[in-house]
Amino acid sequence: MKYSIVVLLFVGVAVLAVCPAARAAPVAVANAGFEMKTLADGDYDWQMDGQGWGYVDNGGNLGPWNPTTADYPAQAPEGVNVGWTESGDGIPGGFAQILSETLASGMTYTLTVKVGNAIGYAWPGYAVQLLAGGTKGDSGDDYADPITGGFLLAQDNDSQTVADGTFVTSTVVYTYDPAHSAHLGKPLQIRLLALGAGEVEFDDVRLNATPEPASLVILGLGTLAVIRRRRQK
């Protein structure tokens, strides 16, 4: 009996130490690198119907762009395209996407996005946000569809300086808060915003979901208990 308890505790500690990284799972983001449209070097587009991204609060002033070395000496961080966006009329606006992944308890979500400041464009500041919920509309044309609503879970609100012609990595981390239980089961939403007059570029959008250590220990101990019962039979 004592031996079994020791084994359970040992395995629980092992699960706690090893599994969080091992069980981190990527969450699907459509057109995460803005590569769905083939563009010649220097070309850009506004049409994004069926390309994963909608718009929020800027009338759809956004799209894919294949920048040149005059815009970014190192060009796009991932692939050849980036996503460009402007703000709305004096308010933050830009890309939004409602995901198939839903908010779950006992999870930590880590969102990373490359944020760029093209040479020769006014810099308005940026925001990278993770939300729960939201509604996608239909623009009725070939441009991005509007996305409204959603509850803000966490954000990077212009925390980094982005030099001309460079990209930085923005990281947003959200660990489930029981105070947000009313939003459990709602789809996650990503927003990539320009905060004022000017333009911001985004690229290489990634979201990972990792179970919290306590949840993993409970899972591991529960599995061991099942194994133990089977052996006793």
Cα distance between residue 208 and residue 96, in whole Å: 17
Asked if residue 197 belongs to a domain, the reply is: yes
Q: Is residue 164 part of a domain?
A: yes
| Alpha-carbon distances, residue 34 vs 80, 108, 134, 224 (angstroms) | 9, 25, 21, 44
For position 176, which CATH number holds?
2.60.120.260
In a domain, 106, yes or no: yes
Is 9 within the bounds of a domain?
no
Q: How much is the pTM?
A: 0.85
* Planar angle of CA 226, 230, 233, nearest 5 degrees: 145
Whats the size of the chain, residue-wise? 233
pLDDT exceeds cutoff 60 at 22: no
pLDDT in tens, 190-232: 999 999 999 999 999 999 999 987 544 444 545 444 444 555 5
- Of the two residues 154 and 5, the one the predictor is more confident about is 154
Instruction: Tell whether 226 is covered by a domain.
Output: no
pLDDT of amino acid 56: 98
12 occurs within a structural domain: no
Q: Which residues of 34-59 are buried (b: 16+ CB within 10 A; e: fewer)?
A: bbebebeeeebbeebeebbbbbbbbe
Q: Domain of 111?
A: 26-211
The percentage of the chain sitting over the pLDDT mark of 70, rounded to a whole number, equals 82
Structural domain contains residue 123: yes
Tens digit of each residue's pLDDT (9 = 90 or more) over 41-93? 999 999 999 999 999 999 999 999 999 999 999 999 999 999 999 999 889 99
Which among 192, 197, 193 has a CA at the least distance from the CA of 124?
197
Domains: count for the chain: 1
Tell me whether residue 223 is in a domain: no
